[in-house]
Amino acid sequence: MTQWFRCYWDEEDMWFCFEVDSDGWVTRQVELRGPHEEPVAAASLAEWEAALADGTLEAYESVFGATAEVPVQEWDGHDPHDLGVDEFEAIWLAARTACRARARINPVSGA
């Protein structure tokens, strides 16, 4: 069963919003920094894997970042807060738009 939640990392002043599959792997991840929750990443595991296979991983990560590399069961603390699917989708779409806009302003080769 898919789950959506967010966790705050105070040492980075960052909210992490996650979509997690039934095995605990992050399938989509959004990172929001600072008091204005500025989107800094909005990565999809499926897209990341496709970019790896295509040899375009560096370009993908420069625009969208990456997802967590371990299942959520292996994390320490970070007090998760549940999100509804609609709330996650709104955060996801806004973050993807911001990442794409930033890439247009500061283009990276291959992005």
pLDDT in tens, 3-18: 999 999 888 899 999 9
Model pLDDT, residue 12:
87
Q: Give the angle subtended at the CA of 98 by the CAs of 102 and 54, to the nearest 5°.
A: 70
**What domain range includes position 54?**
3-105
**pTM metric for this prediction:** 0.86
Whose structure tokens read 């625009």?
Answer: 63
Q: Provide the number of structural domains found in the chain.
A: 1
In a domain, 46, yes or no: yes
CA 105, CA 41: separation in Å to the nearest integer?
16
Query: What six digits make up the tokens of 45?
Result: 């595991």
In a domain, 10, yes or no: yes
Q: Are 19 and 88 in contact (CB under 8 A)?
A: yes
Residue type, 24: G
| CA distance from start to end of the chain | 33
Q: Is the pLDDT of residue 52 over 50?
A: yes
Residue type, 7: C
In a domain, 110, yes or no: no
Question: 16-28 pLDDT, tens per residue?
Answer: 999 999 998 999 9
In a domain, 111, yes or no: no
3-9 and 26-33 strand pairing = unpaired
CA 20, CA 2: separation in Å to the nearest integer?
6
